[in-house]
A and B are shown apart, each in its own frame.
Chain A
Amino acid sequence: MPDPVTPMFNVQIDGVWHQFPKGTRVIEACEQAGSYVPRYCYHKKLSSPGNCRMCLIEMGFPKLGPDRKPELGADGKPIINWMPRPQISCAQDVAEGMGVRTNSALVKECQRGVMEFLLINHPLDCPICDQAGECRLQEFSVDYGDSKSRFLENKVKKPKNVVLGPRVTLDDERCILCSRCIRFCHEIAHDDVLGFVDRGSYTVLTAHPGKRLENNYSLNTVDICPVGALTSTDFRFKMRVWFLKETKSICTSCATGCNTIIGTREDVIYRQTPRENDAVNSCWMCDYGRLNFYYLQSERRLLEPQIRSEGKLVAAHWPIAIAQAALQLKQFSGPEIAIVASGRMTNEELWLTLQLVKILGVELIDIVPRIGAGDDILLSTDRNPNTNGAHLILHLDSGPGASLPAIAEAVNSGRLKALLALGENPIRFGVTPEKLANLPAFVVLDILSNAATEHATIVLPACGFAEKRGSTVNGDGRLQRLNRAVRAPGEARDDWEILRDLLQALGGTDSLYSIEDVFRQMAEAVPQFAGLSLSKIGDLGIHVMEADECPPPPFDPEAADIEEAEAKRPPGR
C-alpha cells in the first residue's frame, strides 16, 4: 500500500492507463504494469546514469489546449503528444498524464541497435564465461537482438584476467561499461576504488592506481555485473550456474541474517548469493558471510557418533550413543551439570535445549558470545546469528555469556561432573583441557572436531546451517527461516533430532515427529512466536521483537573473525 499522502499519477503504458505513486521510476512503472523494459546500467538500489541506452522507450505528455488543460480524447482520457525521439526510462520519474510505449516499432529498432553496438566488441567466449546462463547480454540478445553479427572488423583487445582484489577477477573485454560496480562501490560500499579510463571503444574498467577492490562488499559487484566481466575468484570456473540448485536460506555468519540463495549441486555448496529483502539486507551481503561455508566441507567434519571406551573414542551407532549420553547425564543431579548452548543454534534447537535444562534440573546454562568488528553497512558486531532467539527462549536475563565464568570455574575446580557442549568449545571460555579430560561426562554435539571434542565422552555429529531447517531471530528481532540445501555428510544428524532423542532417553514424554511439531510446541510457550508456524515465517521473515529487548553482548574490539575466515579459505584463492 502506498503512503496515502503520496500523490498518485495516471500513466498510460502501452495503451492502458495505470496509477503509480509520485517518485516511481518509469522503468519500474513499466515493469509493474507487466511490460518489462530491458536494462543493463539501471539497478533499483543504485543511481541512474543512463549510459547503457538499453531501456529506450517512447514517451509522451498530454496535449494541452489553449486553456493549459489536457485535451481529452473520445475515451475521456488525455490525448498524448508523443516525443519524436526515444527516451531512457531509467532516469525519469512518472508524471501526471505521461504516456509510454515499450514495444513500438521505434523502440524495438532502438533495442536491436543498442544490442548490436554492445556486442561489437564483446568476445563471444560464453563457453568459458562464468556468467553464461545468468547473463543479461545473452538473454537480451535472444529477446531483442539479431542472430547474426554484421561486424567484420577486428574486435578491440582489452586486458583479461585482471585481479582487481583478493576476491574479484575482471575480464575487461566482456565489460559493457554499465558502471553498476563503480556506483555500488561509491554509493553502497563507500569505497570508491573503481573507475573508467581511456576513451571510446578503448574505455576500460580499472581500479584506482595503487588501490584494490578489497572491501568487505566487493563480491556484490559480481552479482550486479550484468555480464561476465566481474567474476568471483572463489566461484570462477567451478560450476556452471544452470546446474546449481537454488535454496532460499539466510546467512548465519552474523546477527544481521542476510537473506541468501545457496547454490548447490549434488550435495556440494558452490556459492551463496544475496536474496533481496528490503527489511534486512536490501540486495547485498558481505564477502565474509558469503564465503563462510567452506567449513561445512572441511576434513574436520564429525561424521559418526563416537563413545569413549578405554580412553579412546570409538564409532558407535546412534541409538547406543544417545542411550549412553542419557545414562552418563542421569548419574548426576542438576547442580552438577552445566549446558553450554550456542548462539548459532536455531530457535527449535534452543527450545529443546530448554527442555533438557528442565528435565535435568540444570542451573548453569549459557551461550557463548561471539564478537567481531562490525560496520555501518550490514556486518554486525554480534557474530552469533541467533543471540536474540537464545534470549527469548533461554531467558538469559543477565546477558549472553554472563554465566560462562561460573561454568569454567565449576569445571576447573572439579565441582561440575557433567558438561553438555552444544556446538561450542569450552576451552575457548577458559576451561582447561586437563579438567575437560577428567570430567566423568562430557557430551559434545558439534559439526567440526576441535581441541575439546578429543576429550569428550560422547561425540554427537550435527548439521551445519545449510544442512538443516529451523528459524532464527536476527539482531533487529526478525524471525527468519533456514532451509536445507544439502544433505549432511556421513551419519551426521539434524541437531533437533539429536536433542529430541536425548530428551526422550532422559524420560521426556513429548512426541515430536517433525521440526514443525517443535516450532508449534515452542510457539505455545514463547509469546513472541504465538500464532506462528515455520511456514508462516515465509521467505522474508516476520518482525517479532524489538531489538533493544535483548541486552547486547559485550564488545571486544580485538576479536578478529574476518581474519579467521580469510585464513580458512583454500590456498591461492
Chain B
Amino acid sequence: MSVTVPRPKLNWRERLYLPAIVAGLAITFKHFKNMLLGRTKVTMQYPEQKWDSSLPDYYRGAPALVRDEDGRVRCVACQLCEFICPPRAIKIIPDEIPSNDRFAKVEKYPEEFDIDMIRCIFCGMCEEVCPEQAIFLRKDYAITGFTRAEMVHHKEKLLEIGGVMHGVVLKWNEKK
C-alpha cells in the first residue's frame, strides 16, 4: 500500500528563504564568538585526554570476574552467563575444587573462563544473571589487540580487570 505524503504548505516567510539563512548564520557567529573568547567545551582530545574519571557508576565496560575479601574467585562455574550471553562470547570449563583447598566447601570453580571481546556486546546480561555476584561490567572500554587470540580475555585477565569486590553476599561462608 502506498502512502502519499502531503507536501508541506509553506507560508510567505518560509518561501522568502532569507530568514532561515540569517538564523543559521547567527548560530555560526555565536560559535565563532565563543571560540574567540575560549568558551568551547565539547571536544576532548582523545586519547591524550580521557573521560574515565567522569564515567558514571552504571557504565557498562568490559565484563570481569571479581574476588571477594577472602581472595576467593567468586565464580562457581554455574554457566548461567554462558547460557544467557546473546552473542555467545563466554566459554567456561568447570571443575571440582580439590578437597585440600581452603575453599573446598564451595566444591566447584571455573577451570577456564574465556570471554571473547570481539563478540562481547557489553549488554550486561552476564552481570544481571549471575547468582554469585561474581561477574561485573567494569569501566574498561578500550579493548584492543593485534590478533583475534589477543582479544579473548582468559581467566587471569578477567580477574585482573575485576579486582576485589567489597560488600557482596558471602553465602558460602555458612556452608559446611
Contacts and interface: CB of A to CB of B under 8 A. Distances in A.
B94 A161 contact: no
A242 interface: yes
A237 interface: yes
Interface string B37-73: 0000000000000000000000000000000000000
A157 interface: yes
Interface in B98-135: 99, 105-108, 131-132
Contact of B95 (A173, A237, A240): A237
B interface, size bucket: 10 to 19
A128 B83 contact: no
A239 B91 CA distance: 12
Nearest to B108: A128
Contact of A161 (B82, B107, B131): B107
A236 B96 contact: yes
B94 A238 contact: yes
Contacts of B131: 126-127
Contacts of B132: 127
Nearest to B131: A127
B79 A128 contact: no
Contacts of A158: 176
A264 to B, nearest CB: 16
Contacts of B82: 243
Interface string A93-133: 00000000000000000000000000000010111100010
B78 A240 contact: yes
Name the prevailing secondary structure of the A interface residues: loop
B80 interface: yes
Nearest to A238: B94
Interface string A149-180: 00000000110110000000000010000000
A127 B176 contact: no
Indicate the member of B78, B99, B106 with the most A CB atoms within 10 Å.
Answer: B78
Interface in A125-152: 125-128, 132
B15 interface: no
Nearest to B94: A237
B40 to A, nearest CB: 52
Contacts of A160: 105, 107, 176
Contacts of B78: 126-128, 132, 240
A519 to B, nearest CB: 37
A236 B95 CA distance: 9
A242 B83 contact: yes
Contacts of A240: 78-79, 83
Nearest to A130: B108
Given A240-B83, A243-B83, A128 B106 contact: yes
Contacts of A236: 96
A158 B82 CA distance: 31
Contacts of A242: 83
B137 interface: no
Nearest to A132: B78
Interface string A478-494: 00000000000000000
B176 A237 contact: no
A46 B77 CA distance: 35
Contacts of A126: 78, 131
Contacts of B79: 239-240, 243
B175 interface: yes
Contact of A237 (B96, B105, B175): B96
A127 B95 contact: no
Contact of B108 (A173, A237, A243): A237
Contact of A157 (B95, B106, B176): B176
Interface in A230-254: 236-240, 242-243
A504 to B, nearest CB: 41
A205 B20 CA distance: 86
A161 B77 CA distance: 18
Contacts of B175: 123, 125
A236 B83 CA distance: 19
B101 to A, nearest CB: 12
Contacts of A238: 94
A197 to B, nearest CB: 18
A527 B108 CA distance: 55
Contacts of A173: 176
Contact of B107 (A128, A132, A157, A243): A128
Nearest to A169: B96
B158 interface: no
Interface in A294-344: none
Interface string B85-96: 000000000111
A240 B108 CA distance: 12
Contacts of A132: 78
B99 A127 contact: no
Nearest to A125: B175
B65 to A, nearest CB: 14
B176 to A, nearest CB: 5
Contacts of B105: 160
Interface string B160-176: 00000000000000011
A490 B28 CA distance: 67
Contacts of B94: 237-239
A161 B104 CA distance: 10
A239 B94 CA distance: 7
A147 to B, nearest CB: 15
A157 B94 CA distance: 25
Indicate the member of B82, B94, B106 with the most A CB atoms within 10 Å.
Answer: B94
Interface string B119-158: 0000000000001100000000000000000000000000
B126 to A, nearest CB: 14
A242 B176 CA distance: 28
Nearest to B92: A240
A348 to B, nearest CB: 36
Contacts of A128: 76-78, 106-108
Nearest to B111: A237
A8 B88 CA distance: 54
A126 B79 CA distance: 11
Interface string A235-277: 0111110110000000000000000000000000000000000
The 6 closest A-B CB pairs, nearest first, are A127-B78, A128-B108, A157-B176, A240-B79, A127-B131, A128-B76
17 contacts: A125-B175, A127-B78, A127-B131, A128-B77, A157-B176, A158-B176, A160-B107, A160-B176, A173-B176, A236-B96, A237-B95, A237-B96, A239-B79, A239-B94, A240-B78, A243-B82, A243-B83
Given A128-B106, A238-B94, A240-B78, 15 more contacts: A123-B175, A128-B77, A128-B107, A157-B176, A158-B176, A160-B176, A161-B99, A237-B94, A237-B95, A239-B94, A240-B79, A240-B83, A242-B83, A243-B79, A243-B82
